[in-house]
Amino acid sequence: MTKKIAFWIFLIGTLSSAALFLGATYDTHRQVGTLANVDKLSDQVVAGKRAFEKYNCNDCHTILGFGGYYAPDLTKVVRRVGEEGIRYRLKSPEVAFANSPRKMPQQNLSGQEITDLVAFFSWVGEINNNDWPPQDSKKRLSRGEQMMVAKVGVSPGAAVFQTKGCMNCHALHGTGGTFGPPLDLVGRGKTIEEIEHYIQNPGGVNPKAKMPPQKDNLSQRELEEVARFLATQK
């Protein structure tokens, strides 16, 4: 390669990368209002953010990826533990986390501050950030399931079956509950789709079904994995 060609590769490469970067930055900024639901940014949400700063929650927690790595990310905490769950944890962390090896301090937040923080977390949780962070994504298996797959060596579907309460009612290979039928032969003559359909909403298939619908219990990914696993039981 001559010096001249190297120069042009450098120049065109740098300029086109810069143009792409500026374009993508501009495009993101253009959409911030919509992606972040700026219209829902109420005074209460702002007050919650102020409380978040006042108590330095960021020292231990990340939110939208920023902060300390000691405690769980709070971006999707409403989805994870619910508004009531947040209130309980903020009011009495010494009780809520009594059995946890890592502790959250009792910060004596006022009732108003707790309400504001909940509003703040609800707003943050609704930001369209492409399903981030991954540990709270509904498209993936939960951390517990991933650990089972990695450590026990079971298939993802078997991990879902064992961690999502199915065994409270169903037995497989002689282990499990008896409220529902054993599922050792459930894959006989049924397609994955039929099984998936049943699990999601038993009442839709059989109006007399006693099995509760699982559509809120399982992510789409979990549903597909557990159905694929059960289809092999025959």
Q: Point out which residues bind ligand HEC (CB under 6 A).
A: 55-57, 59-61, 70-72, 74, 77, 80-81, 86, 89-90, 97, 100, 102-105, 107, 117, 161, 164-166, 168-170, 179-181, 186, 195, 198-199, 202, 209-212, 214, 218, 226, 230
Is the CB of 29 or the CB of 102 nearer to ligand HEC?
102
Min separation Cβ 111 and ligand HEC, Å: 14
Min separation Cβ 180 and ligand HEC, Å: 3
Measured distance CA(183)–CA(230) in Å, rounded: 8
- Select from 45, 211, 76 the least CA-distant residue to 140: 76
Q: Which amino acid is at 88?
A: Y
Count of residues making up the chain: 234
Min separation Cβ 163 and ligand HEC, Å: 9
Min separation Cβ 157 and ligand HEC, Å: 9
Is the CB of 119 or the CB of 230 nearer to ligand HEC?
230
Measured distance CA(222)–CA(228) in Å, rounded: 10
Token pair for residue 132? 């981030």
Is the CB of 133 or the CB of 165 nearer to ligand HEC?
165
Is the CB of 123 or the CB of 198 nearer to ligand HEC?
198
Determine the Cα angle at 42 with ends 40 and 46, to 5°.
120
Neighbours of 202 (CB within 10 A): 18
Is the CB of 40 or the CB of 79 nearer to ligand HEC?
79
Measured distance CA(131)–CA(113) in Å, rounded: 28
